[in-house]
């Protein structure tokens, strides 16, 4: 199932194309989350380091975190077409970027495709990323998602893989009430001037 294309937001939180060089944030309307376009790329880190990196106040905003592993963990989940079950990263991989692993769910070989989409910049998508939340049974393990194999996985938290950051909701700038008031005031002034000019022209005739 194809997902809604990502929507870009620049450093000032204004709407731009997702593929625009100025797009710093990428909004996923299906899951109502915003991806940070910057990733750790080829740099790898432990779960603790990845969590610290992801939770920085990117753009001066709090609330960033590692991508969710989903409400139900399933290491064989393929594809991520049911909201709340597939991880955020799986939804990005299958539904939005249209990626396909080299092996299908039944173990049969197929042509693997791994488009980077708007993440295909200097950083690119890491081969594997940490997912948010504690492991269900092992305190020293964490969940991850492979952008090569297209599956959720798990591994020791001292393992070294990549990271991405997401934030709930959209970061799109919403004008303050004062801005609306100024806009309406400006429009009223323009209308008033136009009426006066029209009245003056009628009198002159």
Distance, in Å, from the CA atom of 191 to the CA atom of 173, rounded to the nearest integer, reads 28
Q: Report pLDDT for 38.
A: 95
Q: Report pLDDT for 78.
A: 45
Q: For CA atoms 130, 131, 132, 134, give the dihedral sign.
A: negative
Peptide bond into 9 cis (omega under 30): no
Three-state SS annotation for the chain: CCCCCCEEECCCCCEECCCCCCCCEEEECCCCEEEECCCCCCCCECHHHHHHHHCCCHHHCCCCECCECCCCCCCCCCCCCCCCCCCHHHHHHHHHCCCECCECCCCCECCCECCCHHHCCCCCCCCEEECECCCCCCCCEEEEEECCCCCEEEEECCCCEECCCEEECCCCCCCCHHHHHHHHHHHHHHHHHHHHHHHHHHHHC
pLDDT digits (tens, 9 = 90+) for 96-145: 999 988 887 677 888 989 899 999 876 899 999 999 988 888 899 999 99
Q: Report pLDDT for 200.
A: 54
Q: In the chain, what are the domain boundaries?
A: 7-174, 175-205
Q: Alpha carbon 92 to chain centroid distance? A: 8
Q: Which stretches in the chain have pLDDT values below 70?
A: 1, 71-86, 105, 122, 174-205
> Per the structure block, which two tokens stand in for 177?
């009430």
Q: For CA atoms 39, 94, 61, 153, give the dihedral sign.
A: negative
Name the CATH superfamily housing domain 7-174.
Mannose-Binding Protein A, subunit A (3.10.100.10)
């Amino acid at each position: 199932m194809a997902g809604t294309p990502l929507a870009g937001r620049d450093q000032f939180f204004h709407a731009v194309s997702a593929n625009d060089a100025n797009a710093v944030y990428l909004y996923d309307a299906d899951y109502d989350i915003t991806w940070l376009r910057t990733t750790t790329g080829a740099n790898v880190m432990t779960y603790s380091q990845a969590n610290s990196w992801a939770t920085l106040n990117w753009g001066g905003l709090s609330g960033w975190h590692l991508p969710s592993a989903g409400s139900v963990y399933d290491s064989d989940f393929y594809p991520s077409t049911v909201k709340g079950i597939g991880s955020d990263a799986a939804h990005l991989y299958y539904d939005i970027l249209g990626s396909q692993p080299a092996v299908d769910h039944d173990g049969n070989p197929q042509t693997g495709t791994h488009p980077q989409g708007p993440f295909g910049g200097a950083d690119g998508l890491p081969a594997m990323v940490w997912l948010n939340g504690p492991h269900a049974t092992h305190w020293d393990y964490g969940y991850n998602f492979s952008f090569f194999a297209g599956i959720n996985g798990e591994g020791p938290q001292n393992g070294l893989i990549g990271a991405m950051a997401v934030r709930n909701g959209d970061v799109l700038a919403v004008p303050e009430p004062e801005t609306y008031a100024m806009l309406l005031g400006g429009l009223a002034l323009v209308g008033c001037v136009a009426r006066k000019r029209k009245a003056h022209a009628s009198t002159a005739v």
